[in-house]
Amino acid sequence: MVFLSKIVNMNFQSKQLVLVFLLLFLVSCKSKKVLSENSLINKSVVNDTAFVNLKEYSTDFVYDMKYASADNFLKSKVYDCAECYLRFKTVKGLMEANKIFIKKGYKIKLFDCYRPLDIQKKMWKIVPNPIYVANPSKGSIHNRGGAVDITLVDQNGKELDMGTTFDYFGIEASHNYPNFSSKIKRNRKLLKRIMIKQKFNSFDSEWWHYNLKSALNDKVSNAKWKCD
Ligand SMILES: [Zn+2]
C-alpha cells in the first residue's frame, strides 16, 4: 500500500517510468516460465532409445572417462572428449540407482558409457584380443548404449575399495572371487544389489560393468557426439 500511495503521489513522467519497469518485470517472468515449460516438454518427448548426454539430466554423477585419456589398459586416448552418452532408458535407470546410493552417502562414478562402433574398432586395432576388447564384428552392449562401467565414491569423492582397479584383467575382478575382505565383498554387493534392482545385469568377470537388460536387443550404433 505504501508503494501504491507513493506511485499516486509521483509526477506523470515518474509514473510512466515505474509502469515501464513493472511491464518489463512481468514480461521477463513470463518468458522464463515459457522457457522452462518448453524444456520440460522437450524432455518428456525423448524416446527411450534416443541417445542423450547424462550430464543434461543430472549433476549428481562423478566422471572419470578413462578412454578419453591415456590412463587405461590400451595406454591410448580413443575418445576426442569425455562425454557420457547413453540411451535415454539407460539414463533413467542409472538416475534411479544413483538416487538410492545418494541416500546411503555414495554416488556413482562413471568410467565408460556408450561407445560408438568406430571407437570399438579403434580399440580392437590396438588390442585384437577378445579377452580384453569385444570384437567389433559382434558389437558390445556399450555399442548399443545400454552399458556403463562404474564404481561408487563416498562423500569425499573417494572410491570405495572394490578389490581391483577398473579394467583389471584377472580372476580378482570377478564377482565370484572369494579371497577378499568382507569390506570389499560388501562394497561390490552394494553396487550389484542396487543396480540389479534397477533392471541392470552384472557381468561375472568385471565387477564394474552393468548393462540394462532391455538394451540387449537395441541396435549397435555409430552415432557420434560433437566435441567443443
Ligand atoms: Zn563395460
Residues 169-209: tens digit of each pLDDT: 999 999 999 999 999 999 999 999 999 999 999 999 999 99
Global pTM value: 0.80
* Amino acid 36: pLDDT: 30
pLDDT of 15 reads 59
Distance 17 CA to ligand 1 centre (A): 62
From ligand 1's centre to the CA of 145, what distance in Å?
11
User: Does 4 have pLDDT greater than 70?
Assistant: no
Which are the contacts of 203, defined by CB distance < 8 A and separation ≥ 6? 209, 210, 211
Q: Cα–Cα distance between 211 and 195 in angstroms, integer?
A: 9
Residue 164: what pLDDT? 98
Query: Does position 102 have pLDDT exceeding 60, yes or no?
Result: yes
A 10 A CB-CB count for 117 gives 18
Which cell goes with 22?
A: 513493472
- Cα(179) to ligand 1 centroid in Å equals 23
Mean pLDDT of the chain: 86
Q: Regarding predicted confidence, which is higher, 1 or 200?
A: 200
Mean pLDDT of 32-49: 52
Question: How many A from CA of 166 to the centre of ligand 1?
Answer: 10
- Residue 171: per-residue pLDDT: 95
pLDDT band for position 10 (cuts 50, 70, 90):
low
CA of 208 from ligand 1 middle (Å) equals: 7
Averaged pLDDT for residues 34-58: 70
pLDDT score of 138 more than 60? yes
What's the gap in Å between 14 CA and the centre of ligand 1? 66
Cα of 128 vs centre of ligand 1, distance in Å, is 17
Give the per-residue pLDDT at 34: 22
How large is the average pLDDT for residues 33-59? 69
- Is the pLDDT assigned to residue 20 strictly greater than 70? no
| CA 55 distance to own-chain centroid | 6
Per-residue confidence band for 131, with pLDDT thresholds at 50, 70 and 90 = confident
Torsion angles phi and psi, residue 96, rounded to 5: -65, -45
Instruction: Give the pLDDT of residue 228.
Output: 85
Per-residue pLDDT, 46: 87
Q: For residue 102, how far is its CA from the centre of ligand 1 (angstroms)?
A: 22
**Distance of CA 103 from the midpoint of ligand 1 (Å):** 25
Q: How far is the CA of 180 from the centre of ligand 1 (A)?
A: 22
For residues 188 and 207, is the Cβ–Cβ distance under 8 A? Answer: yes
Residue 29 has pLDDT above 60, yes or no: no
Q: How far is the CA of 201 from the centre of ligand 1 (A)?
A: 11
Poorest-pLDDT segment among 22-31, 44-53, 62-71, 112-121 = 22-31
Q: How far is the CA of 44 from the centre of ligand 1 (A)?
A: 28
